[in-house]
Amino acid sequence: MNSIATSIVIIPGVVALLLCLLFTYLYQQSRQAYFRAWQIAWACYSIHYALDAFRYYYPPAQAAFFFSSLFSVAMGVSIFVSTRLTRGSFRFRWYDAALALAGTAAACIDLRNHLLGHAAGQHPLSLGVLFLSAVLLYCSAAFYLHAHRKGSVAFQLLAFSLALWAVWR
């Protein structure tokens, strides 16, 4: 197996799957709705990496590229929803749909750029990555404010981790 494929796709995919299993366990123990949202987020991220692995082994796989981006968007939306679930029950709002629509539009534009850039031998900037980074930064701020209100070190660590993840992406 190629070491590039291992470091870029396989290892993060396995870590995402393990985190999905961890949040499944946490949800089973506590029945907190925000754990379910994180479970869904990590499941989507695991599928995202599985599709990336498929793309690596069976190029060009444009459909896998597009669905990988959509699962990444679903992961971001799930984490976004979890910010509200920590404060109480979830009620669907117009901005949930707007966020999902914006992420889907970014995935469509990325697919278009990927197809055009692939033909020209370029690797264009990914709007999906920018979208996900913006969502993670917002969620980081929301969790930080929640941690400040509750005096929770766990939510402060979560906020810090999300901020690092948003910048690292």
Render pLDDT for 93-109 as a digit per residue (tens, 0 to 9).
999 999 999 999 999 99
**What is d(CA 135, CA 79) in angstroms, rounded to the nearest whole number?**
8
Q: How many CA atoms lie within 13 A of 166 on its CB side?
A: 20
**What is d(CA 83, CA 131) in angstroms, rounded to the nearest whole number?**
17
Task: For the full predicted model, state whether its pTM sits above 0.85.
Answer: yes
Decide: 15 and 45 in contact? Cβ < 8 Å.
no
Domain containing residue 84: 3-168
pLDDT digits (tens, 9 = 90+) for 139-162: 999 999 999 999 999 999 999 999
Reported confidence tier of residue 119, pLDDT bands at 50, 70, 90: low
- pLDDT recorded at residue 121: 54
pLDDT digits (tens, 9 = 90+) for 48-66: 999 988 888 888 889 999 9
3-state secondary structure of 121: coil
- How many domains are there within the chain? 1
Phi–psi pair at 93, nearest 5 degrees: -120, 165
Reported confidence tier of residue 123, pLDDT bands at 50, 70, 90: low
